[in-house]
Each structure stands twice: as C-alpha cells, then as structure tokens.
Amino acid sequence: MTTKHLEYRPDLDGLRAVAILPVLFFHADMAWFQGGFVGVDVFFVLSGFFMANVILADLDRDDFSFGRFYLRRMRRILPALFSMITVTAGAAWFLLMPKEFSYLADSVKAAALFTSNILFERESGYFDIAAEMKPLLHTWSLSIEEQFYIVFPIALFAAHRFARKHIIPIFLTILLLSFCASSWAAFHSPEKAFYLLQFRVWELLTGSLVAFIPRPNYPAGLPKYLSLLGITGILLAVFLYSPDTPFPGIYAALPCLSTALIIHARCQDGAPAFILNNRASVFIGRISYSLYLWHWPLIVFFRYLIGHELTILNSIEVVALSFVLAYLSWRFIEQPARYGVLASSRAAILGISGGAVLAAVTFGFVVTKYEGIPQRLTGDVYQLYAATYDKSPFFSEKCFADSDGRGLAPRDIREGNLCSLGASGKSNIRFLVWGDSHAAAMAPAIDTAARQNGTSGLFVGRASCPPLPGADFGTPAVVSRCKDYNAAVVELIKREKFPFVFMIGYWPKYVHRAELPGEGVYFDAGMVPNSADWSAPVRESLNATIKTLAQQGTRVILVQDIPEMGLDVPEALARAQMTGRSLDVAPSLEYTGRRQALARQVITDSAKEGQTLVADPMKMLCDATKCHAIVGGTVLYQDGDHLSRQGAEYLAPIFQPIFSVINGDTRPTNGST
C-alpha cells in the first residue's frame, strides 16, 4: 500500500457543494429536498478520506506528528466555529427565553468540548424544547468528526506500526460492525443511532477505505460512468428520503457508497466533471464549512423573529443571507486563520484556542447555573414566562416516573410508597389518581378539592403511560415500557380496594396515536389534526378496567383531557408581550373540538357503559368561541399541553361535585361535572 501527499482535487470541492446545498435547502424548508440531511453523510465520507490520506502520507514517510496534525485541525475548525458561537450567543442574549437560553448555554459548552452530539442525544426526551429552537443543533456532526479525529489517528498509527499489512481488514471489520449496529439502532434506538459516533463511524471509515485501497487503471470512460452513478445515488437519497426514513443504518449506505464511488473514480471529463469541477461548484465547496456553520443559527433566529415557519420567499432570503455570511466568514476568518500571520505560531494557536474553549465553557456554566438569566427579561414579560417554572409538585421523582423510567418504580407502587393528595395523613385513603403526565399536571386540582373536602388520596403516574392496562395504545416499545407500571397499579388497587379511582390521560394522543400536527414554536392551527381512529383498544381497556374494578367495589372517575394549545404557552405569551403581539395564542374552539371529538366520545361512552362519573375541564377552560391559555392574568399552562400548577388549581371547582359523591353526600349513578 503506497500513498503520497494529498493533491488538490477540485472535484472534491465540487462534491462538498453537492453535500452542503441539500442540507441548506432542507433546513430552509424547501419541499423538494426532504432528504437533504444526507449531505452530512457525504461530508462524513469526505472527512474520512481526507484524514486517512493525510495521515498515511506522513506515516509512510515516517514523518507523522500528532501535534502537527491537531494544530492543522485547530486552524481549520476552531476560528470559524468559535466566531459563529460568539455571534449566536450574543443574538440569543436578546432573543431567547430563559429555558431556551439555558439550552443554548449547554450547547455552547458542549460544542466547545466537541460533545454536542452526546448532549443532543440526551436532550431528545419528553420535555425537551423543539429542535428548531436550538441554534447550535448542527454542531452535532462537527462533534462526531472531532471525536473521530481524536480516535482515528491513534488507531491508524498503531495499525501502521504493528499491523501494516492488515490495515484494510482491521478497519473494514470495524466498519462492518458499526454498520450492523447502526442498522439495528436506526429502528430500535433512533436517537442514539443518529447522534453517537459508534453508529456513524462506519461512514467516515468508508471514506478512509477509499484512501487505503489502491485505484486501478480503469479503461477510458469508465470513471465518468462511475462518477455519474455516484452523483445519481446521492440525488436519489436527497429527493426520495424524508425525515421519516429510518436513519442512518442501511438507508445511509446509498449516499455514503455513492460518495465513495465519486472519490474513487477521480473523473476528469464528461458531465460529472462539469458538475463537480465548474467554478461555481468549486467555490461553494470552498466556503461549505462556513456555510454549514452559519446557515442553521440564521434560520433559527429568522424564524424566531417572523414568528412562523418559513414561506417560499423566506426560504430564498435565508439561503441568500447564508451565502453572504459564509463568504464573509471564509474570507475574513477561515483564510486568515489558515494562512495569515498567526497561522504559523503554535503558541498563538494554542493560546487563542484554549482561551476560546475556556470562555465558552464558563459561559455555559454561568448561564445554566442562573437558569437562563431570566433577569434579562422585562418585568411584564417575565411575569408571563414564569409559568414555565410553575410545575405541579406531582412531577417529582417520588411521585412520578418519566418516560425512561426514572423516578417512581413498580416496586414502590406495589408497596404503596406513593405521594399523598388532599387531607394530611394516609389513614382512611378514599381515592387514587392514576395516569400519565397529564394526570401529574392535573393532580393539584384534585389535591385542592380534596383538601377543601377533608378527603385523603394517593397519586401514581408515569409519562406516556395511560391508565390502560393491556391496551395497544401506541408503538410496541411504548406499550412494553408501561406494562410493569400498569400491572403494579392494578395490583395495588386490588389489594387496597380504594373506593374511588381517578383515571386521567392524554386521551386524544392515544385514540389518534398522534400529537397535534406541527406542534411546537410555530404551530399552525390551519393544519388539519390527525383523524386516524385507533380508539378500539382504548375503549376495550377502559371498559374492561372499569368493570374489573367495579366487581371489587371500586368506582372509576374518568377525567376528560384539557385542550391542547399546540405551542409552549408561557414562551408564546412572553414573546407576544415582548414584540407587542396579541396574547390570544390559543387555537379556536372549532379546532379544539375537531381534535378532541373522538377522545371525548370514547370517555363519554365508557362512562355511560360503566356507570362512572366524568370530570370535564373544558367547561372552565373554554367559552363559546375558544379555549383559553390565560385567564385574569393567570397563565394556565406550563407548556403546550400540561397545566401549570396555578392552572390546575384554577380547575379545582370541577371536582367539588365528585368529592360530594366520594364523601357520601350525594349518589348519582352517572354524570358529568
């Protein structure tokens, strides 16, 4: 195996253009480019090729230096990266709400330490903020590359020193193991598959193997067809894939192998050469790193300022602005950092880079410690935003388990180690509140009503686990993780024989197996809600559970769900106050009615069949035209579909008739409150 210095290949700059443009158009919401995210995979293959070629050339001359290698990486990567981070953090100071700013601070710290891929994988949880509000989300791919740059030179150095003849089998084996793991994880653990190095390293090694394997002397014309095949493969992925494509895994093989084919072919004539070698493609390729860095925070803040998703005109505007910022960054930051006066000074490079990392990490710690520095907001804006922190105490780990199972365990449930509601003391427990995160958010309403009536109860809840034992209410993975939890609750109810059980859930989500379409910062009530009917297993489980509990003397109280707002209410109200827009952020009653109709009918029918009581929050949250997110200055929601603590307490009156029944004052056989 022989190597030489990496000669300049304009076609590879052109290939960078083929990589960055689909990413840019995809992020700018251009509908034809739904698979544009595969451009990142093209970059991974290119990076693996360049690194292997550079390192092998030095190793074969016995002239490889880890210090020199990493100094080159620092000059190439850090100046533009930290410039982008600095500008982004400055804009975020004036624009982002505290929770968003705190997330931004965490990502600043992670990006500086090249661990943002790990951070974003961990953040992809139930109460995570929307991806479109993370200006540094795109740094996940840079972190993967930098992690590769740390591990790969060491591995290649060791293989070259001790097993030179086996370099290709060694790295091919690693590639195949990573590819198999990625293909499995894309379906079973998609967040990890997307963000973590071990599931992506095969893509970088695909490029490395192109550098390892000698290129034969192909017959004239064949490289042209190989390159054309490669370009076609990338474009097929760009135009045929979508965000719903299980990725990376086997689907990533098409753009990765296509990229490797183009690199390997080294085509110098025909249509592929024209596509890759023309001056426009080469120029875009040369500024592609800066274009990648600046386009995403620009899009995030652009959306933030206009308050809605990008229109076609907006998409054109952000693409044009991205090119302007990219050129300025390339011309005045990248080029001087690589070829300017300070580029040859090791001390300057290390000093400036070290200072930038320290500043970024310090910024991250300070902003996180002070919870996004809410003091940045004016008093009237913060008063609205403060509902973000007005969280039900029943979300605490001693009361509730999150979607990953952290917190209240099935063993705790079986032993009755639950949080109390209502009157103090656990003697003469009259009721149990059972449900998912909507139950935890609603619990303060029941707690307040129970205290006012001198009644004691217990609470048990887990995120995304409705009180539907045995029901097929979602994906197999979600249903499976709720099995032990619901079984433990049923066992507890049978043992303790509670006279009454409240069953509360995010019913529209379960009967449609979908949340609101476009739910998030830029929710649009003009989008028709999902109408798929998956209510049969919900009905069956409700009816069976009500019947089973009735046989032991336990009476069920069903609680209708609250209206969903579609957006994070405290943040939406605060942004509206800040910009002078209307505080009327809730969707219309007609929209809410369409969304809730099936779920409300299921609850009503089950209550009628099982002779149970029904509590209906919509009677207090809605009027003749719409439901409300704020009443009399009280923000009723903590986010888009969970009540704030004060919002829940506002609903306490709807449970007063229920507690009249629980305390034996009245005995209606069926009804709604």
pLDDT value of position 221: 83
Query: 112 and 23, same structural domain?
Result: yes
Q: List, in sequence order, the alpha helices (H) in 453-506.
A: 476-496
10 Å CB burial of residue 60 (0-12, 13-18, 19+) is middle
Do 324 and 439 fall within a single domain? Answer: no
Identity of the residue numbered 516: L
- Shared domain for 29 and 151, answered yes or no, is yes
Q: Which amino acid is it at 650? A: Y
Residue 600 Cα to chain centre, angstroms: 30
Give the residue from 471, 497, 496 showing the smallest Cα distance to 483.
471
- Are 520 and 600 within one domain? yes
Indicate if the pLDDT at residue 658 is higher than 50: yes
Q: What is the spatial distance between Cα 472 and Cα 540, in angstroms, rounded to a whole number?
A: 10
Diameter of the chain by CA atoms? 95
Tens digit of each residue's pLDDT (9 = 90 or more) over 326-351? 999 999 999 998 887 777 788 888 99
Q: If residue 582 lies in a helix (H) or strand (E), which one and from where to where?
A: none
Tell whether 297 is covered by a domain.
yes
Share of the chain above pLDDT 90, in %: 77
Q: pLDDT tens digits, residue range 419-474?
A: 999 997 667 899 999 999 999 999 999 999 999 999 999 999 999 999 999 888 88
In this structure, the answer to whether residues 414 and 278 fall within a common structural domain is no
Do the bridges between strand 613-615 and strand 555-559 make them parallel or antiparallel, or are there none, so unpaired? parallel
Top-confidence residue, 255 or 97: 255
Say how far apart CA 637 and CA 384 lie, in whole Å: 11
Helices (H), 113-138: 116-123
* H-run or E-run covering 8: none
The predicted model gives 651-659 an average pLDDT of 96
What pLDDT shows up at residue 2? Answer: 41
3-state secondary structure of 267: coil
Cβ pair 135, 111 in contact under 8 A: no
pLDDT tens for each residue of 122-135: 887 544 556 778 99
In a domain, 672, yes or no: no
Residue 524 CB contacts under 8 Å (≥ 6 apart), including other chains: 308, 309, 518
Q: Is residue 310 included in any domain, yes or no?
A: yes
120 and 243 in a single domain? The answer is yes
> Does the pLDDT value for residue 1 go beyond 60?
no
pLDDT of residue 673: 61
**Res. 378: pLDDT tops 50:** yes
**Domain final residue, candidates 345, 376, 407:** 376
Strand ranges for 8-50 from DSSP E: none
What's the average model confidence in pLDDT over 388-410?
93
* pLDDT > 60? residue 29: yes
Query: Is residue 574 in a domain?
Result: no
Strand 419-422 with 456-462, pairing: antiparallel
Number of domains the chain is built from = 2
Q: Supply the DSSP string of 183-224, one letter for each residue.
A: HHHHHH-HHHHHH-GGGTHHHHHHHHHHHHSPPP-PPTTHHH
What is the spatial distance between Cα 500 and Cα 55, in angstroms, rounded to a whole number? Answer: 71
Q: What is the pLDDT of residue 131?
A: 74
Q: Is the same domain home to 204 and 265?
A: yes
Rounded CA separation 528/534 (Å): 17
Q: In which domain, by residue range, is 473 found? A: 390-565+587-662
Residue 2 falls inside a structural domain? no
Give the model's confidence band at 637: pLDDT under 50 very low, under 70 low, under 90 confident, else very high: very high
Q: Are residues 173 and 114 in the same domain?
A: yes
Is the domain of 486 the same as that of 513?
yes
Mean confidence (pLDDT) of the chain? 92
Average pLDDT of span 560-569: 94
pLDDT tens per residue across span 299-322: 999 988 887 789 999 999 999 999
Of the chain, the end-to-end C-alpha distance in Å amounts to: 80
Q: Is there a contact between 644 and 391 (Cβ–Cβ < 8 Å)?
A: yes
Residues 6+ apart with CB under 8 A from 429: 456, 457, 458, 496, 498
Q: At 121, list the tokens.
A: 């994988």
The residues with which 435 forms a beta bridge, in sequence order, are 461, 504
Residues 288-321: b if buried by 16+ CB within 10 A, e if exposed: bbbbbbbbbbbbbbbbbeeeebbeeebbebbbee
Q: What is the pLDDT of residues 47-66, one digit of tens each?
A: 999 999 999 999 989 889 99
